[in-house]
Structure 1
Amino acid sequence: MVILRVGMCPGLDEDLLGNLRAADVRTVEDLISSDTEELARKCSVSYKALLAIRRVLLAQHAAFPVSGADLYEELLSSTAILSTGNPSLDKLLDSGLYTGEITELSGGPASGKSQVCFGVAVHISHHLKQTVVYVDTTGGLTASRLLQMLRTETSNTDEQMEALQRIHIFHLFDIYAVLDCLYGLCSGGLQQVCVGGGSVKAVIVDSVSALITPLLGGKQSEGMSLMTQVAGVLKTMAKDFNVAALVTNHVSRSGNGEVQPGLGVSWSHVPRTRILLERVESAAASVSHSSLRSATLIKSSRQVPQAAQTVVKTYC
């Protein structure tokens, strides 16, 4: 919805704007959908002048038609698939994380969500030589932990340091600070954080639910609005800048006791793909320091959910 303002086009001055508002025409949509002849009488302006304004606004704000073939070509040219560095998880995700989309990892405490995110950041920065933006809302990510993981990938100190420089970490513990950060990245911040010629290919928010959940329910109606804003800016960032957005979410239990991702139905439409992580309780898991996790695909536009399940190994 675009609000009418003085100077949007020739002829739209303060007097006409006042008359339009008096006629309850406040947006471009209102003006375009109104009967031009009747509106001209109400606003005491010539029909031709108002028609000219209408044509200019239509040219500025109307969508141009595009064919399905053109959209498909654009999709092929802009979409990239980023390996997570975990073959089992890549198979579940139909080859990896897709740019232009939001992928969610949900799970309970110690389910391995953050460890998977750490591994994704390390793999993209070291092996793919691309920049990663990591928004940490829980305080669980440290440079020493990333360095520890990088040392398992390469013994070259220079390569380790270069990979660390490509991971930009924001420790933010307030939902408003997270929104400011995400809006800032959309307004030019993504280009500013690029290092060594690579581009930002992944934005990780761990955890998206940690700061939103306390604001939901009861009389705290602002929580839903803030959640909608986070969803909107993440979708915009993913599509407009061709990045893969990876977020983590907590879990809750339904009325029949089934484990399900948190944040409710409204959030469930935001991620394109949803993975549920759970600990594998077995003798094998205890031997490997509980590094094995069950990963279940519960939402996808490319694969069959629920039927797709695998066991992934996270960093210890």
Structure 2
Amino acid sequence: MVLLRAGLCPGLSEDLIKALLEGAVRTVEDLVLSDPEHLAQKCSVSYKALVAVRRVLLAQHAAFPISGADLYDELLSSTSILSTGITSVDNLLDSGLYTGEITEVCGGPGTGKTQICFSVAVSVAHELKQNVTYIDTNGGICANRLLQMLQEKTMDSAEQMNALQRIGVFRAFDVFALLSCLQNLRANSLQMGTVGSGSVKVVIVDSVSAVLSHMLGGKQNEGMSLMMQVATELKTIAKDLNVAILVSNHVTRDGNNQLKAGLGQSWSHVPRTRILLQRGEQPGASSSLRTATILKSSRQPCYLMEEFNLSPQPQEESQTGFAGKRKLDTDS
């Protein structure tokens, strides 16, 4: 909601705002939905002036229809696709993370959620020379691991340090700190998240469930409200600032003992794309082998799966590109 303030449009003066406030009209929505004749009498203001202001505000803030062709052109001009740094995961995500969207990785402990977050941060900071905002909610950030991953990409220590400087880390160990961090990032157009040169392209929250899961369930209505506030902030940042959002989440089991993402049905509508990480179950498989499965996507068929290694050898990766994509049996 947009609050009425002087200068918002021609004719909207301090005196008119004061009179409208006495009539319980505080926002543009209140003014547009009110009956102008009744409001003019109630607030003792000019009907003609009120209608003129109402017409201008309606033109400024009303939603106008847009054709599919125009929407597609806007999408092409504003969307960027960012590599995760892992070929198989990029294939699963239809080339990588999309700006303007929220992507979620979910999985049990030790399945590689944080390692994928690290990989995205390193890839964007080193390859694209763009800044990353990394919000750590569970104390999992490890500078040594980030440096190790950078060393696998370049032996130039100056490039390594420059990439590390592009990764801005914020710690938020409760939902209020997380909300405050997100609100500050949005209010300042991510200027607080800018560490080096360039603009922020990715905001990573590892993890949302660490600060939300214990507040949900039972009669804790406040927890649901706070969760939706977090969702709103993430969506607003993604859309208004045209950045890619990556969040990690835990998993639970449904009535059929199948793994599903945590935080419940309400949260399931928040991410545009969701992938499930699991340990490799093939006999004799490497302990670092993982599988990633599409659970939700607007671009890819669900239940596609890719295998990848958390610690791939560069030579092997360049030769094999990790394992191929395959379709899971949805009945199993």
Aligned equivalent of 1:299: 296
Q: Name the SS of the counterpart of 1:296 in structure 2.
A: strand
Q: Distance in 2 between matches of 1:105 and 1:65?
A: 34
* 1:117 and 2:117 are equivalent in the alignment: yes
Q: Is the 8 A contact 2:82 2:124 kept in 1?
A: yes
Task: Report how far residue 81 of structure 1 moved.
Answer: 0.5
Distance 1:90 1:284, change over 3 A: farther
Task: Report how far residue 44 of structure 1 moved.
Answer: 4.3
Q: Is the 8 A contact 1:6 1:14 kept in 2?
A: no
Aligned equivalent of 2:326: none
* Residues 133-167 of structure 1: per-residue CA shift (max 9 Å, x gap): 11111111121111122222222111111111111
Q: Distance in 2 between matches of 1:29 and 1:135?
A: 34
Q: Which amino acid aligns with 1:310?
A: E
Name the TM-score, length of structure 2 as normaliser.
0.86
Q: Name the SS of the counterpart of 1:12 in structure 2.
A: helix
Aligned equivalent of 2:79: 79
Q: Is the 8 A contact 2:133 2:204 kept in 1?
A: yes
Distance 1:51 1:204, change over 3 A: same
Q: Distance in 2 between matches of 1:244 and 1:16?
A: 40
Q: Distance in 2 between matches of 1:50 and 1:193?
A: 42
Q: Which amino acid aligns with 2:262?
A: G
Aligned equivalent of 1:17: 21
Task: Report how far residue 7 of structure 1 moved.
Answer: 7.2
Task: Report how far residue 222 of structure 1 moved.
Answer: 1.3
Q: Is the 8 A contact 1:12 1:53 kept in 2?
A: no
Q: Is the 8 A contact 1:40 1:47 kept in 2?
A: yes
Task: Report how far residue 277 of structure 1 moved.
Answer: 0.4
Structure 2: unaligned runs, 5 residues or longer: 313-332
Task: Report how far residue 192 of structure 1 moved.
Answer: 4.5
Structure 1 segments, 4+ long, off by >6 Å, are: none
Aligned equivalent of 1:145: 145
Q: Is the 8 A contact 2:4 2:26 kept in 1?
A: yes
Q: Is the 8 A contact 1:88 1:312 kept in 2?
A: yes
Name the TM-score, length of structure 1 as normaliser.
0.90
Aligned pairs (5 A) from 1:1-316: 1-4=1-4, 9-10=12-13, 12-18=16-22, 20-21=23-24, 27-188=27-188, 190-285=190-285, 288=286, 290-306=287-303, 308-315=304-311
Distance 1:15 1:86, change over 3 A: closer
Structure 1: unaligned runs, 5 residues or longer: none
Cα RMSD over matched residues?
2.1
- Percent identical among aligned pairs is 64
